[in-house]
Amino acid sequence: MLNVMTAEQVAKTLKNKEELFILDVRNESDFQNWKIEGENVELLNIPYFDLIDGVEQALSQIPVGKKLLVVCAKEGSSKFVAEQIVEAGRENVHYLHGGMKAWSEHLEQVIVYEDQQVKVYQFIRVGKGCLSYMVLSGKEALVVDPSRFTDLYQKVAQNEGVTIKHIVDSHLHADHISGGNVLADATGASYYLMKSEGAVFDFKALEDHEHIQFELVDMQVLAVKTPGHTPGSVSFLVNDKLLFSGDTIFVGGLGRPDLGGKVREWAEDLYETVYDKVSQMADDVIVLPAHYANLDDELNQEGYIGAALGDIREKNELMRNKNKSDFIDSVAASAHSETPPNFEEIVAINRGVEEATPDRQQELEIGPNRCAVHHFA
């Protein structure tokens, strides 16, 4: 019998560290660029066109008895190959519903923090490594770094009985299309972005706001100007407990400052951020970034991507006892990795100078994020 797995089911399999054997039938270059990975995941790549006339080549390499998931770009090819494998007598065979496009778009909602003043949800885009957040207080909510799947945030707000009043983007994203402007139009919320990022639509400039207050409790979101990844990168410190760090600080690294072609200049800004601004924050502040690189390394025991600032400092040598010259040299040496796919067009869309159809937006976002310059092993 042929089975189907949804992106949500695959995400839960990875988070639970369950065993899974994946046969990826996309072409080799697509597979090498971006794949489903996990601690107990085995991978085999055989292009679909090598399996059209028979799956014997695959059968000889697929272990008997393990759960098998066949994946392709959109679903059709993987379903065809999975059917052939079932006909050959194998059991526990699945194909990925919607293919890697569906995998790219799935978001996992988890709770990060809750006290009498605030509740925070994290939305993990498992297939992209992108993170967004909803901060709830009283009857209001603030959304941080929203994806383009804006219906999700509206649904959560409705279920929680709150109104989305504020939306912030920590920077002009290069690997995915922001939903900030669309969500603001749909909800009437105020949308905040750094003026220095060059957006051409209407928004509230974060340069003009030291904090954003919620009406029911004494909850402040302090906009800490933290350049480094882009000149207008911002972090948000909530109640001196939670640091929404954008792409400035990750659980396992720092934001890459080379996308604008001024790596040493922006690395100097990143140094000032790390050693002058973030260094003043307490070790028990919880860092909540806009991206992650490895789910197995960065997902904590509570089930979300985040870590205490003190733990990040301890593990990340770039944040400890580096003089400015050595820091800039280290960042410059590691920053020239592969750029996010289609990043120039994505940035143009996020800036509002270009438009794209939903199909084109989906196409542009296929692939991994590449926003960090350093990750510990």
The mean of the pLDDT values for the chain is 87
Q: What is the pLDDT of residue 2?
A: 95
Residue range 326-348: mean pLDDT, rounded = 77
Q: What is the pLDDT of residue 217?
A: 41
Q: Is the pLDDT of residue 5 over 70?
A: yes
Residue range 351-369: mean pLDDT, rounded = 88
How would DSSP label each residue in 59-103? Answer: HTTSPTTS-EEEE-SSSHHHHHHHHHHHHTT--SEEEETTHHHHH
pLDDT higher for 341 or 184?
184
- Domains along the chain? 2-102 (3.40.250.10), 107-358 (3.60.15.10)
How would DSSP label each residue in 235-286? Answer: EEEETTTEEEEETTEETTEEB---TTS-HHHHHHHHHHIIIIIGGGS-TTPE
What tokens were used for 318? Answer: 């770039």
What is the CA angle 148-175-46, rounded to 5? 105
- Model confidence over 153-173: pLDDT tens digits? 999 999 999 999 999 999 888
Q: What is the pLDDT of residue 218?
A: 39
**Residue closest to 162 by CA, chosen among 143, 184, 144, 182:** 143
Rounded percentage of the chain residues whose pLDDT exceeds 90: 57
Q: Is the pLDDT of residue 264 over 90?
A: no
Helix (H, G, I), strand (E, B) or coil at 191: strand
User: Looking at this protein, which amino acid is placed at residue 117?
Assistant: Q
Catalytic residue among 7, 22, 51, 72: 72
Q: Is 130 known to be catalytic?
A: no
Q: What is the pLDDT of residue 358?
A: 92
Q: What is the pLDDT of residue 232?
A: 65
- Model confidence over 18-46: pLDDT tens digits? 999 999 999 999 999 899 999 999 999 99
Q: What is the pLDDT of residue 67?
A: 97
**Helix 358-365 / helix 343-351 crossing angle, nearest 10 deg:** 140
Q: Which of 39-48, 239-248, 277-286 has the highest mean pLDDT?
A: 39-48
pLDDT higher for 368 or 72?
72
Residue range 254-272: mean pLDDT, rounded = 72
Q: What is the pLDDT of residue 260?
A: 54
d(CA 238, CA 304): 18
Q: What is the pLDDT of residue 283?
A: 92
Q: Is the pLDDT of residue 229 over 60?
A: no
Q: What is the pLDDT of residue 174?
A: 83
Q: What is the pLDDT of residue 85?
A: 96
Q: What is the pLDDT of residue 45?
A: 98
Q: What is the pLDDT of residue 219?
A: 40
Q: Which of 34-38, 135-139, 159-163, 320-324 has the highest mean pLDDT?
A: 159-163
Q: Is the pLDDT of residue 8 over 80?
A: yes
pLDDT higher for 332 or 159?
159
Q: What is the pLDDT of residue 106?
A: 95
Q: Is the pLDDT of residue 336 over 60?
A: no
Q: What is the dihedral of CA 299, 304, 310, 314, to 10 degrees?
A: 10
Q: What is the pLDDT of residue 77?
A: 97
Residue range 178-200: mean pLDDT, rounded = 91
Residue range 202-225: mean pLDDT, rounded = 66
Q: Is the pLDDT of residue 13 over 70?
A: yes
Q: What is the pLDDT of residue 261?
A: 58
Q: How much is the CA Rg of the chain, to the nearest whole Å?
A: 21
Q: What is the pLDDT of residue 375?
A: 44
